[in-house]
Structure 1
Amino acid sequence: MKFSIGSTQFDAVIGRLVVAGWTGRDQAAVQHHIDELAEIGVAPPSTTPLFYQVSNGLLTQADTVQVLGAATSGEAEPFLVNHGGKLWLGLASDHTDRKLETISVAASKQVCAKVCAKTLWDFNQVRDHADRLKLRSWIKEDGDWVLYQDGSLEQILPLATLCAHIEKTDNSAMLCGTLPAIGGVRPAAEFRAELYDPVSDQRIELRYEAICLEDIS
């Protein structure tokens, strides 16, 4: 997998991939997310936060991914990478099967690709103002892009805390949790997101489409 840091590129083979869930800093917001998922039949977590290890083969930078059926959608998340003895920050989507999520959250994480942007930032350069970073996503509904998530990283646990789960393992990566969905969690085939740094006026962008395979029973 090839990543870019400014004009520099490096290849990384991610050996361990973790998806963090229920990482909201405000427990009321966490409960809100639990409640909105309960509305689509998802059982509440045993504890919060949770850290799901998923297949490293799920990580991709492709513009399209294949999914089974139409009941899937993405979630914008900060993306931490431990490579070469350093931590890097990027952007990824925890694409999830919403139908399977009602049966097993862990299984729903495992069956969908996790799409990450090709751009990374040196985490040390944003560490001191990480809470100010802005995270937004959009889904396409009825032909129009609709704002789906909008907030800052102060709404999730500090990245400096979350990175402890990968900083001892080189070539590991973690999706760090997400923000509530505006209008509720729902399926969508086309997804785009951005991570914006108001200090440097730089952004990381991500866009992809989920192509539905025929669901035969």
Structure 2
Amino acid sequence: MFPLHFDVGGRTVEVSVTTLLNAGYAGRSQEDVAAHVAELAELGVPAPTRTPCLYPVAPYLAMQADVVPVQHGRTSGEAEWALVITEDDVLLTVACDHTDRELEVHGVAWSKQAGPDVLGRKAWRLADVEDHLDEIALTAWAGGEKIQDGTLADLLTPHYWLEELRARGLAQPGTVLISGTIPMTPDVDQFATTWRVDLTDPRTDDTITCTYAVEVMPEPVA
């Protein structure tokens, strides 16, 4: 298992991920949640029985990658933030949950296991931004076209999820939680060969970015 490394105010923080969790249907507004359910329904994904959802995935899927290999052309990312619990702190960074949309129609949990959670290489201390979290912007581009644009006010808060983690005994060093996403712009092609997600603090103009290329692997020899 490869550790993640974050630049936190010029200091490198290393984290070995032991637990990786993907939140789903985690909009603070139920209208936004319904819109996301409708987006997925267009792709044949059945609606969940409850919201929000929480999907455990293999810890090795948390990575800081420049290239994401995929098996076919129907995969895509999602703009998200991530909580990273360290030995002595809680960090906030950007993330992109890369998902196999063909597999998603058979099971959301399966599809999340089939692709990585790509995290940024920089992070903020949660304590340093918690007084204005709702102002922080979350934006994604697929193939250079803006596909998602919102703020952290659109999603359940980091503190909501920290309480959930504490209740489940998971608020431990090495736990990473990915936030769930915001609605996509209608009629935008999400099946792109490049993805970029930005987390921007308007008070400091500081931006945390994750960006990567998507490469389809050769056909299997079988």
TM-score range, shorter chain: over 0.9
Q: Matched residues in 1 for 2:60 and 2:95: separation? A: 15
Contact 2:28 2:156 in 1 (8 A): yes
- Decide whether aligned partners of structure 1 residues 183 and 215 sit closer, same or farther in structure 2, where only a CA change above 3 A counts: farther
- CA–CA distance in structure 1, aligned partners of residues 203 and 38 of structure 2: 34
Match of 1:48 in 2: 51
1:164 corresponds to: 163
Task: Pick the aligned partner of 2:207 from 182, 190, 203.
Answer: 203
> Which aligned pairs between 1:169-184 and structure 2 lie closer than 5 A?
169-183=172-186
Aligned mates of 1:146, 1:65 — CA distance in 2: 19
Q: CA deviation at 1:128?
A: 1.3
For 1:116 and 1:72, the matched residues in 2 are separated by: 17
Residue 131 in structure 1 maps to residue 134 in structure 2 = yes
User: How far apart are residue 118 of structure 1 and its match?
Assistant: 0.7
TM-score normalised to the size of structure 1?
Answer: 0.94
Name the SS for the 1:199 alignment partner.
coil
Which residue pairs with 2:193 in the alignment?
Answer: 189
Distance (Å, rounded) in 2 between the aligned partners of 1:163 and 1:72:
29
Q: Please, what TM-score do these two structures have when normalized by structure 2?
A: 0.92
Aligned to 2:150: 151
Q: Contact 1:69/1:214 (CA < 8 Å) preserved in 2?
A: no
Q: Is the 8 A contact 1:139 1:188 kept in 2?
A: yes
Question: Cα deviation per residue 1:37-91 (whole Å; 9 max; x = unaligned)?
Answer: 1011000011100010000011111100111111101111011000013110000
How far apart are 1:163 and its partner, in Å?
2.2
CA distance in 2 between counterparts of 1:111 and 1:199 reads 37
CA change 1:182–1:164 in 2 (3 A) is same
Answer yes or no: is the 8 Å Cα contact 1:65–1:210 preserved in 2. Answer: yes
Q: Which amino acid aligns with 1:73?
A: S
Map of 1:4-15 to 2, 5 A cutoff? 4-15=7-18
The one-character-per-residue Cα deviations of 1:130-158 (angstroms, maximum 9, x if unpaired) are 11110000011xxxx11000011111112
Partner of 2:23: 20
Distance in structure 1 (CA, Å) of the matches to 2:20 and 2:110? 15
Q: Which residue of 2 aligns with 1:88?
A: 91
Q: Aligned residue for 1:61?
A: 64
The one-letter code of the counterpart of 2:157 is: P
**In structure 2, the residue corresponding to 1:107 is in which secondary structure?**
helix
Aligned-pair identity (%): 34
Could you tell me how far apart the structure 2 residues matched to 1:48 and 1:215 are?
37
Q: How many residues align?
A: 213
* Conservation of the 8 A alpha-carbon contact between 2:197 and 2:209: yes
8 A Cα contact 1:82 1:166, kept in partner = no
In structure 1, stretches of 5+ residues that fail to align are: none
Partner of 1:29: 32
Gaps of 5+ in 2: none
1-structure distance, mates of 2:13, 2:90: 14
Query: Residue 215 of structure 2 aligns to a residue in which SS?
Result: strand
